[in-house]
Amino acid sequence: MRLADARALLPDLVTTAGEPQADRRLIETIANWCDRYTPWVAIDPLGSAIAEEGTETCSAGGFGGDAGLLLDVTGCTHLFGTGEAGERALLADLTQRLSRHDFSCRAAMADTAGAAWALARFAERQADLFCPRHGQRAALATLPVEGLRLDAPILETFLKLGLRRIGDLYPMPRAPLARRFGDQPLTRLDQALGTLAEPIEPRRPPPAFRTRLAFAEPIGRPEDIAAATSRLLAALCRQFEQAGVGARKLEIALYRVDGSVDRTSIGTSRPNRDNPKLMKLFEEKLGELDAGFGVELMILGAPEVEVWSGTQDALPDQNAPAVPVGVDGTIDLADRLALRLGTENVVRLLPRDSHLPERVQVTAPIEAKPAAAGAWRRVASLKGARPTRLLQRPEPVDVMAPVPDDPPRHFSWRQHKHRIVRAEGPERIADEWWRPRPDGSRPPAGEVPLVRDYYRVEDDDGGRFWLFRDGAYKVAANGQPTARWFLHGFCA
């Protein structure tokens, strides 16, 4: 129905513009919140596809009132009770908590995602929302065929043919159905009934190791949060020891009473399961966390772990000094620095085989293998004299130089004129033709590559500079040969 038609029917209709992005943000917040029940939470893929395309039509599963979340709670219900009672308790807890936050929701639980999807949307009685084990065939039989998540044309044809209930499809011969409508109806039916697996793709990869701590009373003081983190970390480190792994990344999530979630994570540059060291890293980060009105649940997970390559943990003997990995503590230092300053700001220097001076020095993360001893010396010995500082971007300078190959007599840089008394050069460095240009194209065959002629010069004040001429001289419009000059570095 168009808006104009709706207005004609109901003149005092209140309308607001749809905001698919805001809807999406909201559903993501709710999905974050649902991580408290299981790490395996997905936004209904049908709905998200619709929102991303920006279409405003809202079919079942779309946003704007019909959004859905899929939770795989396998192995999570024992926290609420044993067997079916636990499953029912989880479902009740979920709906109750969500409605306390003023969300109207319907949650259904079944063996398959497809059945739960259909029940949550089309079940007529409240009691039907919980589908007991292996009961999906019976539960789905009375539901309308819309519950099968079919494309609109197929759905229309089904309705025209009088196939109104899902149960109507059960006795249909499969081969003609597939021939007439394609794979979709049968696939969806099998998925809903559980004869075909339908994996749910979680929003964030569930950590292999996680610990949780729920509080009877919400906590808010930073000391309490630190103490809780320490307890969680101790439990997680025990898990690491049993599995023989160490953490590369740890993430702590605070579930606040108002339903929002705050997260922060730390990274280490080698597998680590040393409780005090990890706690020290967390202490840097805990200050960023905001407890809001209080925290009722904390979950510590390790999204990235690696096989522990270190030595045996020290025995609790005060006399024997423990000899852990990275005995000099440099790696731990680098971790601490990287945590506060950012990983990209704590780096190693690696040499690269290149003729272009700015490409020789590359930075690499701390965990990268350091350059071999003497590798830098070898790189340096192959080249001419180089500056102690290299400008990241060569700066254009005004130069007075005799053509064609002489070093300049004067150059002006940052409004200072430098008279050159001594000069060395040129050292010609040609562009690396085997590399694509910055714009991605390759230089055509036969073309002379760009060259730079480098000069080491000394001005009358004793300052030593590294200048280059970009390319050969060209004849300008006024008949004068011109070339561009750049300052590229400062020599010792």
Residues that bind another protein (CB under 8 A): 326-330, 332-334, 336-337, 340-341, 345-349, 351, 357, 360-361, 363, 366, 370-377, 379-380, 383, 385-393, 395, 413-414, 416, 418, 421-424, 456-458, 460-465, 489-492
Select 378 or 437, whichever has its Cβ closest to another protein. 378
Contact 426, 405 (CB under 8 A): yes
Where does residue 385 rank: exposed (0-12), middle (13-18), buried (19+ CB within 10 A)?
middle
* Four-residue CA torsion sign, 324, 329, 332, 334: negative
We find the least distance from the C-beta atom of residue 271 to another protein, in angstroms, to be: 19
We find the least distance from the C-beta atom of residue 223 to another protein, in angstroms, to be: 23
Select 2 or 393, whichever has its Cβ closest to another protein. 393
Select 52 or 406, whichever has its Cβ closest to another protein. 406
Select 241 or 395, whichever has its Cβ closest to another protein. 395
Select 101 or 419, whichever has its Cβ closest to another protein. 419
We find the least distance from the C-beta atom of residue 328 to another protein, in angstroms, to be: 2
Length of the chain: 492
Select 238 or 389, whichever has its Cβ closest to another protein. 389
Q: How many CB atoms lie within 10 A of CB 76?
A: 17
First-last CA distance in the chain:
78
The amino acid at residue 5 is D
Beta-ladder partners of 265: 251
Distance CA(101)–CA(165), nearest Å, equals 34
Select 239 or 354, whichever has its Cβ closest to another protein. 354
Q: Which whole-number Å values give the CA distances from 459 to 398, 454, 465, 492, in the listed order?
A: 15, 16, 8, 13
| Dihedral, CA of residue 281, residue 287, residue 288 and residue 290, to nearest 10 | 130
Q: What are phi and psi of 218, to 5 degrees?
A: -60, 140
Distance CA(217)–CA(7), nearest Å, equals 50
Contact 396, 486 (CB under 8 A): yes
Distance CA(384)–CA(387), nearest Å, equals 10
We find the least distance from the C-beta atom of residue 286 to another protein, in angstroms, to be: 17
Contact 246, 270 (CB under 8 A): yes
We find the least distance from the C-beta atom of residue 357 to another protein, in angstroms, to be: 8
Q: Which whole-number Å values give the CA distances from 464 to 151, 419, 422, 484, 491, in the listed order?
A: 74, 11, 9, 20, 5
- The residue assigned the tokens 């101790």 is 234
We find the least distance from the C-beta atom of residue 369 to another protein, in angstroms, to be: 10
Select 87 or 332, whichever has its Cβ closest to another protein. 332
We find the least distance from the C-beta atom of residue 418 to another protein, in angstroms, to be: 7
We find the least distance from the C-beta atom of residue 275 to another protein, in angstroms, to be: 20
Select 55 or 330, whichever has its Cβ closest to another protein. 330
We find the least distance from the C-beta atom of residue 483 to another protein, in angstroms, to be: 21
